[in-house]
Structure 1
Amino acid sequence: MSSYEDRLKALREELARRRLDGFVVPLTDEHMSEYVGAYAQRLAWLTGFQGSAGSAVVLPAEAAIFVDGRYTLQVREQVDGQHWSYQSVPQTSTAQWLEQHAPDGGRIGYDPWLHTKGWVEAARKALAGKGAELVAVDTNPVDAIWPDRPAPSAARLVVQPDALTGQSSAAKRANIADWLAGKKADSAVLSALDSIAWAFNIRGQDVDRTPVALAYALVHADATADLFVAPDKLDEAVKAHLGNGVRLHDRAAFEPALKAMAGKTVAVDPERAVAAIFEALSGAGARLIEERDPVVLPKAVKNAVEIAGHKAAQARDGAALSRFLHWLSVEAPKGGLDEIQASDRLQAFRAETGLLRDLSFDTISGAGPNGAVVHYRASDETKRILEPNSLYLVDSGGQYQDGTTDVTRTVAIGTPTAEMRDRYTRVLKGHLAIARAVFPRGTRGGQLDILARQHLWAAGLDYAHGTGHGVGAYLSVHEGPQRIATFGGGDEPLQPGMILSNEPGYYKTGEYGIRIENLILVEERAIEGGEKAMMGFETLTFAPYERALIDTAMLDAGEIAWIDAYHAQVRAVVGPQLEGDAADWLTRATAPLLERMDNEA
């Protein structure tokens, strides 16, 4: 079954056998993860779409794939428009589309282990107007037609030591128990993989690019817990680390355990727990209270130990990226260098630190027009040469045991056009506006988003993604609840200790893309004579901006001073880690901006 057309046909035949008139295929797993293991890549297998967010609906005579603005170009390149219609989220949801397209009186299937309770309620309501029914399946029909579907990872769990977490697992469980007491609840369900990894100070290798293990947990008001994970993933060191306060069960025992919680008051997160969890608990007679996973906020607010580890990771990662940028400055002008060769060399520089555990996501290595595809991933079919007088966008990061990194730089290969310099400088000015922002306690990320866009808006330009996302401590590179965005989040008040990205961009379809990204730490700011508690950002990422793309005439004195001070920090942090030609390159790349003007004059 080689072609995607054949797979779509096979799914329709399987649905007909099950007396279903449609089926919804989300890109997630039983934990509502953003990045999923190979076994859960049903959307990619069915459609060919390689992005990290999306969903599809298959009906007998039509099918649709749903993606957000990051993947508008990518989905058209990877998914056959003859068989799939392209739908934009959030303008059109799967539920809204079903309301228009589902057959009257039809039976639309869904996997209750892959959807939230809220989605089920919205889809059921949308279908009701057509007399159609939403039907939970016992087994996923995509799995039934996927002959070589990978098995879930069998990798062992590992201990994340207290010296890197700054707090023991027992202390974290005690805090959850205090939270439960305040809610008058007996237990909390933890189903998000990064929440479980953080709460139990364990890590795994079950999801590419994210060091988590497939597991579920119940944490109780007496600070004990039940952890559900495949037994062969546990060694004696992990068992000893977890201790007597954590009872161990096979992952398959999770649903039966939920069904045994009659009479208990259980806190469940409607955003992170799948519908099947709610159904099992309510069916058992448990009393449910819908609350955000109690790990989410403590995990987002890094302690001093986590911050110190992150800074150490950033320092070595900045040196690896600077070595790469120097290498690129030598190799790209020779001609023949392609996107995959470039990203492979960047990964090698990170690996040479001796401390790289994984990339934090698949590197976005986009030359020329491919840089305009926001979440582009190079392949042998799509890779381009880094051509003279073009732009190259590289968005990348590393997973180190002491921290997770994420950084984007846009590089001029040869001589950029005036338009490229204008667009880059507008993006840079927005990036600086976020970096330099000072704001009162209680400010939400959504209130800051306009700062990053203002100079693009002034020229009638914009970008179709958020400005910033949270980042974990050797965990997920995309972490909530904090965001800098006016859509899809951004309502969480920022707190000291939160780490976010600062990544405005500009994308000219068919020509080039620009993005500049550093990670930033929310910190308290004392303002002399001030009357309110204020906050600002400390920049954590250290790598030069692209001097050839900066139009200094568009910058004010404060912006120039900030860039010069930042570049001085880059020299101080990264410089001692470089030698020879790379060190000389860094000195030139981080020289005061107006020195270039003086030299040219």
Structure 2
Amino acid sequence: MTTSPPRFQTFDDPSHAKGSERIEALRAALREIRADGFVVPRADEHQSEYVPAQAERLAWLTGFTGSAGLAVVLTEAAALFVDGRYTLQAPEQVDTGTITVVPLTEATPEAWLGTHLKPGQVLAYDPWLHTPDGVARLERAASKAGATLRPVPDNLVDAVWAGRPRPPSGRVVAHPDALAGETRGEKLDRIRAALAEGGLDALVISDPHNLAWTFNLRGADIPHTPLALGYALVPHEGRASLYLTSPDIEADLRAALAGLADIRPRAAFEADLAGLCKAAARVRLDAATGASALKDRVEAAGGVADLGADPVTAMKAIKNAAEIAGTRAAHHRDGLAVTRFLAWLDRAAAEGVSEIAAVEALEDFRRESGLLRDVSFPTISGSGPNGAIVHYRVTRATDRTAQPGELFLIDSGAQYADGTTDITRTVAIGTPTDEMRDRFTRVLKGHIAIARASFPEGTTGAQIDAFARASLWEAGLDYDHGTGHGVGAFLSVHEGPQRIAKTGTVALKPGMILSNEPGYYRTRAYGIRIENLILVEARTIPGGDRPMLGFETLTLAPIDRRLIDPALLRPAETAWLDAYHARVREALSPDLDAPTRDWLAAATRPLGAR
């Protein structure tokens, strides 16, 4: 008898928070060190979005399981700060009698501290969980209130967290040069050239994504993202040193690195960094992921901490030909799985489909390729009112069956060795209302506006973000998340520095991959999001006199025609949709079984056809 492989996702509530009991335990720890408050970000020592279980301090303390947030616990007050993605989720998860949920649109942590800290009080923080810039903001807030900011050597949450998970120790393996498109040596040469240009003696690689990219390695220390936690020191001259948390390193990778870098235990990193700095070395620390503790150690050893961008981040963002080819292959494979799932969902909806059943079915369709390494994030499977929670994660306690007349939003992605995917589709269960069709069509118009956009070189994501919102704005509507995030190549599904958002200040360049995902959410009723991944490419416009860029849509899966009001679309928008659907049909049909092929033909017929 054969057994199925374990699923990549579980559906139990991961927090198990006990509300005020854990807050009071933290306050007791504060009294022991004579402090009056502690800052608890959702971060690990690499400032990561996705963190290992042992670093889920915010979830353990408060019950909030979102991927971004920060809590401040004072002796007489506690607050959790969340962005627009989590304003519905957070109050459902935390004990609001103990912790006040504060949307960032209402107050920043610094502003809240300014009104709640008292003169003479001490605010403590873990310097490994904050960047120097973040510490500077806390310092200003404390100073303004007449209080003092103090680093602590040991995290106070760890001190009261009974049964805290052990550090991860996943296997670290080589990522083939054929998929990476560039050797480790070539990448190190590029990094050293950037150091020379900046007058730097060394680089600390503190971002595990950059570590994986530089050394063509992948790991298993983080759920859903193939990362090996650790650091690297790359001097301007001489061998690099690699410090991995996990000791389980594949022999092939050791052999490949032997001529380029020393593999050292993680415990040796801080001493080696101090030794590097004794000669007053100028060391680049990544302003985005380098912990304040790193700056402290560089300066204590006599070095100069040069805070700025890790040059690897910009290199990694621009995919080479091999990475682009792999990404296209991954999207074709993933499109087949998603299309099979959508056809299944259409059939199963008549009998009733639960959110968990949809997650499991989609994972099964992806597994059929034999190439699925993991899902790229926990699937967001929200029916009816749950779809209005932007980053909803279904649990056995919240699982519900979609009802006729509702919308089903499913946002999912996959990790394959040749690429990372991320796709959202919103599907009608039964007959949608006129309002649903209006809102869906406005979101679709925004999606098409991004997909069709042409823009001059140097344009940032912030400059085109409004394209996706214009039709919603016309109706007095909007959404509280960015329109697009960067995506890695068998790396993180959320990758910077590129993004399409009001805060997207980085110029878009050919080779960058982003999501295109406008949405609309009616609280406690339904959610709508349409997401494809897009590749920035050079664009030639006849008669133009500027170098121009545009997007190639990578994702291949139908968009629900039943939710579209054709009267709201302009002819060019209808033409784009029909052409996209024709491309999906042509690309996927040869590899589908006959019933699914027939379903796809109906799902992708021209909008004017009946």
1:303 counterpart (320, 340, 343): 320
Supply the distance in 2 between the matched residues of 1:90 and 1:356 (Cα, whole angstroms): 39
Distance across 2 between alignment mates of 1:192 and 1:96: 29
After superposition, the Cα gap between the structure-2 partners of 1:269 and 1:2, relative to the gap in structure 1 and judged at 3 Å, is: closer
State how far apart, in whole Å, the 1-side matches of 2:552 and 2:17 are.
50
Give the deviation of 1:105 after TM superposition.
0.7
Query: CA shift at 1:92, angstroms?
Result: 2.1
Partners of 1:89 and 1:303 lie apart in 2 by 37
Contact kept, 8 Å, 2:17 with 2:62, in 1: the verdict is no
CA distance in 1, matches of 2:242, 2:598: 52
Displacement, 1:353?
1.1
User: What is the DSSP-based 3-state SS (H/G/I as helix, E as strand, rest coil) of the residue aligned with 1:56?
Assistant: strand
Q: Structure 1, residues 65-110: CA drift from partner, whole Å, max 9, x if none?
A: 0100000000011011100111112542222211211132111110
Structure 1 vs Structure 2: percent identity of aligned residues? 53
2:505 aligns to what SS in structure 1?
coil
Once the two structures are TM-superposed, the CA of residue 2 in structure 1 deviates from its matched residue by 6.8
- CA offsets, 1:241-289, max 9 Å, x none? 1122201111121122222212111111222201000110011110222
Q: CA deviation at 1:397?
A: 0.1
Residue 206 of structure 2 corresponds to residue 191 of structure 1: yes
Deviation per CA, 1:225-253: give whole Å up to 9, x if none.
Answer: 11111462223211111122201111121
Contact 1:314 1:542 in 2 (8 A): yes
Cα displacement (A) at 1:407: 0.4
Superposition deviation, residue 387 in structure 1: 0.7
TM-score normalised to structure 2 length: 0.96
Please say which of residues 84-93 and 45-54 is displaced more in the overlay. Answer: 84-93
Once the two structures are superposed, the pairs formed by residues 54-203 of structure 1 within 5 Å of their partners are 54-89=69-104, 91-203=106-218
Select which of 490, 496, 501 maps to 1:480.
496
Q: Is the 8 A contact 2:451 2:551 kept in 1?
A: yes
Are 1:270 and 2:287 an aligned pair? yes
- Matching residue of 2:602: 588
Equivalent in 498, 516, 528 of residue 502 of structure 1: 516
Work out which of the residue numbers 308, 314, 332 in structure 2 matches 1:315: 332
Unaligned runs of 5+ in 1: 597-601
C-alpha RMSD over aligned residues = 1.1
* Cα distance per residue 1:10-48 (max 9 Å; x no partner): 111111112111100000100010100101000000111
5+ residue gaps, structure 2, are 1-15
Q: Does 1:382 align with 2:394?
A: no
**1:557 Cα offset (Å):** 1.2
Give the secondary structure class of the aligned counterpart of 1:595: coil
Q: Describe the SS at the equivalent of 2:185.
A: helix
Question: Which residue of 526, 541, 548 corresponds with 2:540?
Answer: 526
Could you give the per-residue CA deviations for residues 147-204 of structure 1, whole angstroms, max 9, x where no partner exists?
Answer: 1111111111010000000000110000000011111111011100100000000000
SS of alignment partner, residue 259 of structure 1: helix
Aligned residue for 1:415? 431
Q: Secondary structure at the match of 1:583?
A: helix
Take 1:588 and 1:421, find their aligned partners in 2: how far apart are those partners?
19
Counterpart code for 1:160? H
Distance in 2 (alpha carbons) for counterparts of 1:59 and 1:228: 36
The residue aligned with 2:38 is 23
In the aligned structure 2, how far is the partner of 1:142 from the partner of 1:406?
34
Pairing of 1:232-243 with structure 2 (within 5 A): 232-243=247-258
Q: Determine if the alignment matches structure 1 residue 453 to structure 2 residue 469.
A: yes
Residue 332 of structure 2 aligns with an amino acid whose one-letter code is A
Aligned to 1:51: 66
- The alpha-carbon deviation at position 358 of structure 1 amounts to 0.7
**Structure 2 Cα separation of the partners of residues 241 and 206 of structure 1:** 21
Secondary structure of residue in 2 paired with 1:523: strand
- CA offsets 1:277-329 (integer angstroms, 9 cap, x no match): 01100111102222200100110000000000000000000110000000000
Residue 556 (structure 2) aligned to one of 542, 547, 570 = 542
Q: C-alpha offsets along residues 507-561 of structure 1, whole Å, 9 cap, x if unaligned?
A: 0001000000000000001111211101100000000000110111111111111
Q: Distance in 2 between matches of 1:444 and 1:231?
A: 38
1:282 maps onto 2:299 in alignment: yes
Amino acid at match of 2:324: I
- Summarize deviations over 1:445-493 as a string: whole Å, max 9, x none: 1000110000000000000000000000000101011110113xx1101
Secondary structure of 2:294 counterpart: helix
Deviations 1:388-409 (A, max 9, x none): 1100000000011100000000
Number of aligned residue pairs: 593
**1: CA distance between counterparts of 2:196 and 2:104?**
39
TM-score, reference length from structure 1: 0.97
Letter in structure 2 aligned against 1:358: D
- Following superposition, the deviation at residue 3 of structure 1 comes to 1.9
The residue type equivalent to 2:576 in the other structure is: W
